[in-house]
Structure 1
Amino acid sequence: MNKVLLCETCLNELKADKSASKVLDRKNRGGLIKPSNDVISLCKIAEKVIRSYQGICQNNVVNKMTLIAMTRISIERYFQNISCHILDQEPINNHLLQLIKLISNFYISLRLHHINSSTNEIDVKIRSYYTKLILFKHQ
C-alpha cells in the first residue's frame, strides 16, 4: 500500500498502535504493520463477498467483487479521523473512496490468488518424492 498511496495522512490511518488480535501479537517479531480497526472491518466485508460469490467464472472477477463490496459498505462509518482531510478534495475523487476501494481490491485479489493456488496444488508430487527414480517415470 505504501507504493500506491502517496498521501501521508491516509497512510497513517491504515496503521494502528495496538493490535486487537492476540495471534498478531504472538506472530509479530517487529516487522508486521498492525492494521487499524477500519481496515480489519473492510477486509471482513470483502471476505464475506468472496465467500458468497466464489462461483463467479467471468472476466474481471476482482473488479466485480470489489464493486459488490463497495455497495455493501457504508462510507460514513470508516476513517472518521480524516474527515477534515477529505473536505480539501473533490467530492467524486476524494481519498476516502480511493482508500476503501484500494483496500478491498487488494484484499480480494490476494485472497483469490491464495484460493487459486491452493486448489491447483497437486496432492502427491512424484518428482520430489522419487528423486532418483524419476527418470523411469518420465516426468
Structure 2
Amino acid sequence: MARRLGIEPVEEIVTEDDTLANLPDVNHLSEYKEAAISYIAGFIVKKIEQKVTCMPCSHALTSADSVHPFVTLKNRGGLQKPSPGITSVCQVTERCFQRLLNANEGKAPQGRGTTAAIVHQVLSECSEKNLFPQLHNHMFDMCVEANHVYVKMVKMASALYCKVRLNHIARRQTDKIKEGKVVRRKLTKLINFYGD
C-alpha cells in the first residue's frame, strides 16, 4: 500500500544532469515547516492527553526544555509544549505527506487507507529511533501488542497529524473550487442594494 501511494523514502540519485537538481527535496523540511509542525504537535499532545490514561506516557508527551522558538513566541500561557519524540513523529509524518503529494502532483489523495498506510510507514521509520528515552523501562513492562510507545503514542500522534493535514488539504481544494463564488455569497446584500 505504501509503495502504491508513493510514501516510501527513495534513495537520492547523484548525477551530473541539471534537470534532477531542480526537483524538490521531499525529505527536507524547511525552517517554516518545522515551526508549523512544532505548533501542530502541541495540538496533537492536547488530543492525546485526553485519551492516554497511563501517567508515565502522559508525562512523556510534553517537555519544558526543548521547545521550538516559534511555540515560545506564540505561547500566551495555553499552548502545550510537545516533547522531541512527538515532534519527531510529526516531522516523519510530514515527510510522508510530502512524498505522497509529490507522487500525486500536489493533489489530495483519493481512496481509503491513506492514513493507515502513512501510519504504517511512520512506524517503520520510527522503529529504530529512541523517541521517548524516559519510557525505555516502561516499554518492557507490557506485551508487544499493548506497547504504549508504539501502539499508543506513535500511532495516535501520526494518525492525528494525518487528520489535521488531510483537513488542510481538503480545505485548500474547497477554496480553489469556490474561488469566484465567495465574493457573491459574502457581499450579497451589498451587491443587491447597490445604487438604491
Q: Which residue of the partner structure matches residue 108 of structure 1?
A: 162
Higher alpha-carbon deviation: 27-36 or 81-90: 81-90
Q: Cα RMSD over matched residues?
A: 1.8
Question: 1:51-100 deviations in whole A, cap 9, x for unaligned?
Answer: 11133422121112111222222344211111111121112321011211
Indicate conservation of the 8 Å contact 1:18/1:34, yes or no. no
Q: 1:75 to 1:93 in 2, by over 3 A?
A: farther
Confirm or deny that 1:123 pairs with 2:179.
yes
Q: TM-score, normalised by structure 1?
A: 0.87
Distance in 2, Cα, partners of 1:50 & 1:131 = 41
Percent of aligned positions that are identical: 22
Structure 2 unpaired stretches of 5+: 1-47
Query: Which amino acid is 1:127 matched to?
Result: R
Q: 1:134 to 1:104 in 2, by over 3 A?
A: farther
What stretches of structure 1 move > 2 A for 4+ residues in a row?
129-135
Q: 1:134 to 1:71 in 2, by over 3 A?
A: farther
Q: Which residue of the partner structure matches residue 46 of structure 1?
A: 93
Query: Which amino acid is 1:14 matched to?
Result: L
User: Deviation at 1:35?
Assistant: 0.4
Confirm or deny that 1:3 pairs with 2:50.
yes
Q: Find the partner of 1:71 among 92, 101, 124.
A: 124
Query: Which amino acid is 1:61 matched to?
Result: T
Structure 1 unpaired stretches of 5+: none
